[in-house]
Amino acid sequence: MHDDEHDDAYEESGRERFRKRRRRAPRGRTHARDVREDGATDPGLAHLLESGVLDEVLGELKSGKEADVLLARGPSGLVALKAYRDPEAGGHRPDPIYLDGRRAPRGRLRKVLDRGARSGVPAELALWVLHEARTLWALHDAGLPVPKPCIGPGAYDVARAGRMLPMAFVGEEDGTPAPRLADAALPPDQAQEAWAQVRRLAAELLRAGWVHGDLSAWNLLWHRDRPVLIDVPQAVRIDDSPHAADLLARDVRSLLHSVGSLGIEDDPARLDAELRTRAGLPPSGPLDR
């Protein structure tokens, strides 16, 4: 199913709706460490295995703030399987700043998510995963270097996988993941080249209408001399979010902070203006139109 078929399943809404849903959501039991490799304990993973999106789960890759990333194999190669933890079970709870202006589902999609809540994935978490999947698809379709999701872009297809988001694995064929840019230990000339590419990527992201919201050298993988952007569940559309300009300014500061170890230094206000100008936007002021 294509996403366009589901646009009418969304409506504009703010954080109030998420609060209401959070109150209704039952406590889930889920944590990636509970996931057996046959997927029996997680309905989303069981579905991915049964439907042939995945052939097998090979092991754990990384553990982050809000998700564990597992290495899996699918019909066309290695897969990074992002397994979100339930906020009730110690997972990260989204800051409402990201939710303002975000579209919330209604109608049948909402019922599907509520059904998901009954089987162990709170609707709030399902929406967060859905937003990451839809954002990855949008960025991939816009030609940005992000891992291509293995499910979606249809909302129902993504919702079926619950808290699991399978995407292209960024790394080598032997299963070694690409290092995060912050860990890549590049010599000075390569660091300068990487920095030029990262600025180009950040400007393209903005030109495509997005602010990442957690941009740093920890959410950029360095793969075959190119940056790949990951971890986008908090990304906002500049047309939708009233906080886009603030989030961009914060992204610029945290990006600069995180590349300090690579010997990169720049002025945040200058870089903010550079990215906006390269994206064809006003050099300062609000971003939502």
Ligand X SMILES: Nc1ncnc2c1ncn2[C@@H]1O[C@H](COP(=O)(O)OP(=O)(O)OP(=O)(O)O)[C@@H](O)[C@H]1O
Query: What is the contact surface with ligand X in residues (CB under 6 A)?
Result: 61-62, 64-67, 69, 80, 82, 147, 167, 169-171, 177-178, 180, 218-219, 230-231
**Whole-number minimum distance, CB 222 to Mg ion, in Å?**
14
Closer by beta carbon to Mg ion, 109 or else 136: 136
Identify which range of 82-90, 116-124, 176-184, 226-234 contacts Mg ion by CB under 5 A: 226-234
Short-list 78, 43, 286, 75, CA closest to 178: 78
**Whole-number minimum distance, CB 268 to ligand X, in Å?**
21
Short-list 138, 155, 158, 136, CA closest to 147: 136
Return the one option of ligand X, Mg ion, none that residue 242 interacts with (CB less than 5 to 8 A, by type).
Answer: none
216, 219, 234, 241: which one contacts Mg ion (CB under 5 A)? 219
Please state, as a whole number, how many other Cβ atoms lie within 10 Å of the Cβ of residue 250: 17
Closer by beta carbon to Mg ion, 220 or else 279: 220
**Whole-number minimum distance, CB 218 to Mg ion, in Å?**
6
C-beta of residue 230 within 8 angstroms of C-beta of residue 220: yes
- Beta-ladder partners of 82: 69, 165
Closer by beta carbon to ligand X, 117 or else 228: 228
Helix, strand or coil, per DSSP, at residue 74: strand
- Cα 242 to the chain's mean position, in Å? 20
**Spatial CB neighbours of 102, under 8 Å, sequence gap ≥ 6:** 13, 14, 131, 236, 240, 241
Which CA distances in Å does 33 have to 66, 145, 196? 13, 30, 39
Interaction between residue 234 and Mg ion (CB under 5 A): no
**Whole-number minimum distance, CB 67 to Mg ion, in Å?**
8
Return the one option of Mg ion, ligand X, none that residue 170 interacts with (CB less than 5 to 8 A, by type).
Answer: ligand X
- Which positions touch Mg ion (CB under 5 A)? 219, 231
